Amino acid sequence: MTLALSIDRKRLDAELQKLATISDCPEPPPAVTRIVFTPTDLRGRTYLESLYREAGLEVRVDPIGNTFARWVGSEPHLPAIGTGSHTDAIPHAGLYDGTVGVLGGLEAIRALQRSGFQPRRSIELVMFTSEEPTRFGIGCSGSRAMAGAIDSTHLAGLLDDQGETYDNIRKRAGFMGELKDIRLHQDYYHAWVELHIEQGPELERENIDIGIVKAIAAPASLVFTLQGEGGHAGAVLMPVRRDTLCAAAEMISLIEAIAKQSPSPDLVATVGTIQVYPGAVNSIPSRTLFTLDIRDIDATNRDRLIREIFEQSKSIADRRRIELTIATKNSDPPAIAGQFVMDAIADACLQSGYRSKVMISRAYHDSLFMARLAPISMIFIPCRGGFSHRPDEYSSPEQIAKGVDILARTLAKLAG
């Protein structure tokens, strides 16, 4: 079945640009900041829901704001086909990360509607409540809860950087209901596919239109807390110091060295945040906290390196008479794609004549958890220089339109 599809790239680009103006970033678009459950996040959701309704989709919102916009199929009792992504954005992000999967997913549905296609299985567009770890230190809280990958009590008790709980914040944002009702049953979806910018350089470098994702890396994040002794920067001599920032610096260099020596080339380790107390020019840091984000497609290798980092950090702490605690925020397995979903994407690329390649995703996505509910894959499009999580993140309207075209054809094939 070769569908005659037309993707309205002008309208889609205008919607992406409009969403980008709903931002807390001090800089204007293309820089974007949109943190979960903030008033700005809620304004973004209102805008998106108006678009879902305009397309005639049935909209429901779950107790933490995961939003489902359903195009009911001719056999509505069948497990649906799911697509979607996130619209929360880390501070000073770009405007394409996640939004291409939500607004592009909507345009794919509209293009299928315009073509006269009628799905047998319902097609459901999902906007996950929070994919980024910015506010609560853990990514994909929405899809984790949908997949039963986080215990409701643990979710409710997650704290933001002001020490307020997830549960209080979501209720204050107007999301009510029992957290236990978020979980989707195992045959809710027949298949799941997410459209996303690659957030890496491969597709652009190899001049390829579409990436077909076969696996998503296994992410883990940990918090290192070092407790030493503070004091006057002038009065305390070097031999007696228990300086936590110097200890942290040694541990961070160690982490980099261990990651660089990893036998698996896919292992990446990042210390992205550090807090120093009391944080005064002339005061010895008595307490230092830093976060470690460490990932690999091979979770066994990742976990082995984490154990090595633990051991060597502990001996640094002992030598420096520092108390060290390491808390694991999350440690997730990788996701492996479903072959029939990948085949549907590959068929769509053949239909449209677009060059494609099978690849892994080094970034994690909500699809990592949707893989626990149904067979998944992802459709990647190139992004300039592979940049992401930066205001100069960019995919052209043409590249986005190709991704939307492939998504639409894939959805049609899976829902047909």
Residues within the interface to ligand HGY (CB under 6 A) = 131-132, 139, 363-364
Compute the least distance from the CB of residue 83 to Mn ion, in Å. 14
Indicate if the alpha-carbon torsion angle 311, 315, 317, 318 is positive or negative: positive
Compute the least distance from the CB of residue 381 to ligand HGY, in Å. 15
The residue to which tokens 């506010």 are assigned: 135
Q: Which is nearer to Mn ion, 94 or 285 (CB)?
A: 94
Q: Kindly report the CA angle at 150 between 189 and 197, in degrees rounded to 5? A: 60
> Residues 344-373 vs Mn ion: string with x where CB under 5 A?
------------------------------
Applying CB under 5 A, the site for Mn ion has a residue count of 2
200 binding Mn ion? (CB under 5 A)? no
Task: Report what 139 binds from Mn ion, ligand HGY, none; CB cut-off 5-8 Å by kind.
Answer: ligand HGY
The residue to which tokens 């209102």 are assigned: 46
Q: Kindly report the CA angle at 155 between 149 and 160, in degrees rounded to 5? A: 130
Compute the least distance from the CB of residue 33 to Mn ion, in Å. 12
Q: Which is nearer to Mn ion, 108 or 284 (CB)?
A: 108
Task: Report what 119 binds from ligand HGY, Mn ion, none; CB cut-off 5-8 Å by kind.
Answer: none
Q: Which residues pair with 93 in a beta bridge?
A: 32
Residue from the set 88, 97, 198, 296 that interacts with Mn ion by CB under 5 A: 97
Closest CA to 88 of 53, 144, 160, 140: 140
Task: Report what 62 binds from Mn ion, ligand HGY, none; CB cut-off 5-8 Å by kind.
Answer: none
Please say whether the beta carbons of 333 and 350 come within 8 A: no
Compute the least distance from the CB of residue 362 to ligand HGY, in Å. 7
Residue 214: phi and psi, rounded to 5, are: -100, -15
Compute the least distance from the CB of residue 305 to ligand HGY, in Å. 18
Strand 218-227 to strand 287-296: parallel, antiparallel, or no bridges (unpaired)? antiparallel
Compute the least distance from the CB of residue 237 to ligand HGY, in Å. 43
Q: Which is nearer to Mn ion, 98 or 211 (CB)?
A: 98
Pinpoint the alpha helices (H) of 34-73: 39-54
Please say whether the beta carbons of 384 and 198 come within 8 A: no
Compute the least distance from the CB of residue 380 to ligand HGY, in Å. 13
Q: Which is nearer to ligand HGY, 273 or 325 (CB)?
A: 273
Rounded to whole angstroms, the Cα distance separating 383 from 381 reads 7
Beta carbons within 10 angstroms of residue 61's beta carbon:
18
Q: Which stretch binds Mn ion (CB under 5 A): 90-98, 178-186, 258-266, 278-286?
A: 90-98
Q: Which is nearer to ligand HGY, 132 or 332 (CB)?
A: 132
Q: Which is nearer to ligand HGY, 133 or 338 (CB)?
A: 133
Rounded to whole angstroms, the Cα distance separating 369 from 331 reads 12
Q: Which is nearer to ligand HGY, 203 or 411 (CB)?
A: 203
Rounded to whole angstroms, the Cα distance separating 224 from 293 reads 11
Q: Which is nearer to ligand HGY, 130 or 352 (CB)?
A: 130
Task: Render 306-331 in DSSP notation, one character per residue.
Answer: HHHHHHHHHHHHHHTT-EEEEEEEEE
Minimal CB distance to ligand HGY: which residue?
363
Task: Report what 364 binds from ligand HGY, Mn ion, none; CB cut-off 5-8 Å by kind.
Answer: ligand HGY
Compute the least distance from the CB of residue 280 to ligand HGY, in Å. 32
Q: Which of residues 98-127 bind Mn ion (CB under 5 A)?
A: 98
Q: Which is nearer to ligand HGY, 139 or 230 (CB)?
A: 139
Compute the least distance from the CB of residue 65 to Mn ion, in Å. 17
Rounded to whole angstroms, the Cα distance separating 334 from 219 reads 8
Residues 6+ apart with CB under 8 A from 300: none
Q: How many CA atoms are closer than 13 Å to the CA of 99, on its beta-carbon side? A: 33
The residue to which tokens 């293309």 are assigned: 30
The residue to which tokens 């009065």 are assigned: 235
Site residues (vs Mn ion, CB under 5 A): 97-98
